[in-house]
Structure 1
Amino acid sequence: MTVDAVRGGVPEHGRVPKYFVVKNQLLNLLAELGEGALLPAERQLAVAYGVARSTLRQAISELTMEGRLRAYRGRGTFVAAPKLIQPLGLHSYTEALHAMGHQPSRRVVTVDCQPAGSSLAADLGVDATDEVVHLERVLLADDEPLGLESTYLPVRRFADLMTDFDGTGSLYQHMTDRYGIRYAEATERIETVLANPREAMLLGTNPAQPMLLMQRVSADQDGVPIERVRSLYRGDRIGFATRLIG
């Protein structure tokens, strides 16, 4: 067996599940159909590929979870647009989306104050009893929900944030314009998770859809913590890239 075959998903024992064969056949079909095209009916595809409809559905389900297909109740299943690939770095969401030719926006879900607690206090350099601003927003690209972001900032440093910032714009830009802050460094962790029912509802997605969870603590040019951010992104609609230099 060739290396290419192994890399193509064929295990060493050579036995390939039927759904995987169909999945690859469907990928070729999607390339032929092009973005936005309606996928042929299940019955037609099952006959064309000589498989049971349950096998076909498994292949379609995986492609939908991966963001290659998009299903709309009552309308059918369509070839999805390519994922947005956002560069990892100290950039604002607004800047990144504009650079990719998309229109960013945000929908505010929650704005409140709460005690920091021990975990937030350690990350933000405040006391556990100090208050933090909690800003929760749905991140959109061309009016489509892509992510759910919760940002925590120390009240004693940004006391007027809740009155000066409406939450729909770029917090990154507001910090620069209002406070003269430059985002200089950050520690970030990325992992895969499943959304809880509330998160799935806010993002308009299936709770079983894999998500990318990014947790970041940012600091300014003086090394003072600015914020802790928890961002949950739809794995079917967005990916991330970075450049590594040795």
Structure 2
Amino acid sequence: MSRMTVDRSETRPLHAQVADALRAEIRDRSIPPGETLPSEAVLCERYGVSRSVVRQALGTLIDEGTVHRARGRAPVAAAATEHHRLVQRVTGLHDQFSSEGLHLSTTVVSLEHVRTAPPAATRHLGTDDLLRLERRRSVGEGPLSHVRTWLPRERFAGLSGRMLDDASLHRVMRDSFGARPTSGRRQIRAVPADPRIARDLGVPAQSPLLLLEGGTFDRDGSPLEWFESWHRSDRVVFDIEAQEGVDRVSLAPPSGEGSCAPVPGTASGPAPAPPEGERSGDRGLERAWDLVEELRTELAHLRRRG
């Protein structure tokens, strides 16, 4: 086995570096759920560290639930809990989870008046007089997503962070401002986590995330919001409903790239093909399978870069 020494010039402790490396292997399923981790002696040799450093790293992973260890047994990789989201529905994550009997907690990170936003947000909303809302969405085992939303300030004058703690933004729109979200367009892209988002979601910087972004309209066609929502790719699965002749989901290329062509040299392998009878004459289903393959390719590419 090749030796993978840690970077002793880094400011992070050695045990944190070893924990990050093992966490990445578990997240990428190089160490599948339920599989025993390499022995302490093997890990010492692999990373060029002492046994005490390895034990600290394993202790961190056990405390956070990434690794399980029963008394008298070797540590094993824990199975991650996956939460499913229907991305083509206007219904927000809070309402989707509530309908499944799950409690989604929402923490307001910030709410402020701004006059700068991404061009897509100002184009959609038709103004640069905006509120920028940042929230963290979590379930029992930890953070799932970080959401950044831009809202027209005049339409939502009086909105406060207190109104949104552990609440659905769309429900607040309906109940307090008479705005009913009914339609919109969504895009999905695979992106690396920048340091700020990574800290909020509890993952290493550059970890692969799934970014869902788009705009929402009221029933009269008035724009209500533009949002960017970063999801942990190890905990959230996007579900797609495909119908014949209907393209329901748009996959955007990674920032700075001009196409969604598969990245050559990835090791993920092709997504399994659906039965021939299901593909014939069904454009929506074909688009769904294309989307699955493209996302798998982009996530594999990001993990290889990390």
Q: TM-score, normalised by structure 1?
A: 0.68
What residue number does 2:133 align with? 135
Deviations 1:24-52 (A, max 9, x none): 8x64xx4xx5xxxxx534039x8xxxxx9
What residue number does 2:109 align with? 109
Q: How does 1:48-87 map to 2 (within 5 A)?
A: 70-71=66-67, 77-87=76-86
Matched pairs, number: 191
Q: Distance in 2 between matches of 1:169 and 1:219?
A: 20
**SS of match in other structure, 2:106:** strand
**SS of match in other structure, 1:42:** coil
Deviation at 1:87, TM superposition (A): 1.3
Q: How does 1:6-21 map to 2 (within 5 A)?
A: none
**SS of match in other structure, 1:149:** strand
Q: Which amino acid aligns with 2:239?
A: A
What residue number does 1:205 align with? 203
Q: 1:199 to 1:71 in 2, by over 3 A?
A: farther
Q: TM-score, normalised by structure 2?
A: 0.56
Q: Tell me, yes or no, if structure 1 residue 215 matches structure 2 residue 216.
A: no
Q: How does 1:22-41 map to 2 (within 5 A)?
A: 27=32, 30=33, 33=34, 39-41=35-37
Q: Which amino acid aligns with 1:94?
A: H
Q: 1:241 to 1:117 in 2, by over 3 A?
A: closer
Q: Tell me, yes or no, if structure 1 residue 174 matches structure 2 residue 172.
A: yes
Deviations 1:41-94 (A, max 9, x none): 4039x8xxxxx969xxxxxxxxxxxxxx9348xx95532234111112111221
Consecutive unaligned residues of structure 1, counting only runs of 5 or more, are: 1-18, 34-38, 47-51, 55-68
**SS of match in other structure, 2:172:** helix
Q: Distance in 2 between matches of 1:117 and 1:139?
A: 22
Asked whether the 8 Å contact 2:193–2:205 carries over to 1, the reply is yes
Q: Which amino acid aligns with 2:78?
A: V
Asked whether the 8 Å contact 1:84–1:239 carries over to 2, the reply is yes
Q: Tell me, yes or no, if structure 1 residue 240 matches structure 2 residue 238.
A: yes
Consecutive unaligned residues of structure 2, counting only runs of 5 or more, are: 1-24, 48-64, 69-73, 245-306
**SS of match in other structure, 1:106:** strand
Q: Which is worse superposed, 165-174 or 204-213? A: 165-174
Q: Tell me, yes or no, if structure 1 residue 125 matches structure 2 residue 121.
A: no
Output the aligned Cα RMSD.
Answer: 3.0
| Greater relative contact order (Cα < 8 A, sep 6+) | 1
Q: 1:108 to 1:233 in 2, by over 3 A?
A: same
Q: 1:136 to 1:143 in 2, by over 3 A?
A: farther
**SS of match in other structure, 2:225:** strand
Q: Distance in 1 between matches of 2:148 and 2:125?
A: 15
Instruction: Name segments (4+ residues, structure 1) moved above 6 Å.
Output: none
Q: Distance in 2 between matches of 1:53 and 1:97?
A: 42
Q: Distance in 2 between matches of 1:121 and 1:41?
A: 49
Q: Tell me, yes or no, if structure 1 residue 145 matches structure 2 residue 143.
A: yes
What residue number does 2:95 align with? 95
Identity, in percent, stands at 25
Deviations 1:70-123 (A, max 9, x none): 348xx9553223411111211122111123332101111111101145723211
Q: Distance in 2 between matches of 1:147 and 1:104?
A: 11
Asked whether the 8 Å contact 1:102–1:142 carries over to 2, the reply is no
Q: Which amino acid aligns with 1:121?
A: T
What residue number does 1:58 align with? none
Q: Which amino acid aligns with 1:226?
A: L
